[in-house]
Amino acid sequence: MKLYDGAKAPNPRRVRIFIAEKGIEVPVVPVDMGALEHKSDRLTRLNPLQRLPVLELEDGTVLTETVAICRYFEGLHPEPALFGKGALGVAQVEMWQRRIEMHLFYPIAQAFRHLHPAMQGWEVPQIAEWGEANKPKAQEFLAYLDKELGQREFISGDVYTIADITALVSVDFLRLARISIPEGLDHLMRWYHTVAGRPSAKA
| pLDDT tens track for 133-177 | 999 999 999 999 999 999 999 999 999 999 999 999 999 999 999
* Mean pLDDT, residues 127-136 taken together: 98
pLDDT at position 34, please?
85
Taking the C-alpha atoms of residue 98 and residue 80, their distance in angstroms, rounded to an integer, is: 20
How far is 174 from 63, CA to CA, in rounded Å? Answer: 28
> Residue 198 and residue 171: Cα distance in Å, rounded?
15
Torsion of CA 57, 28, 14, 24, to 10 degrees: 80
Is the separation of the CB atoms in 61 and 29 below 8 Å?
A: no
Q: Give the mean pLDDT of 96-112.
A: 98
Q: Which residues pair with 3 in a beta bridge?
A: 28, 55
Give the pLDDT score at 25: 94
pTM score of the predicted model: 0.96
Residue range 19-72, pLDDT digits in tens: 999 999 999 999 999 888 999 999 999 999 999 999 999 999 999 999 999 999
* Whole-number pLDDT of residue 36: 86
Beta strands 28-30 and 2-5, pairing class: parallel
Q: Show the domains of the chain with their CATH numbers.
A: 2-76 (3.40.30.10), 86-198 (1.20.1050.10)
Q: What Rg do the C-alpha atoms of the chain give, in angstroms? A: 17
Mean pLDDT of the residues in the chain: 96
Which of helix, strand or coil describes residue 29? strand
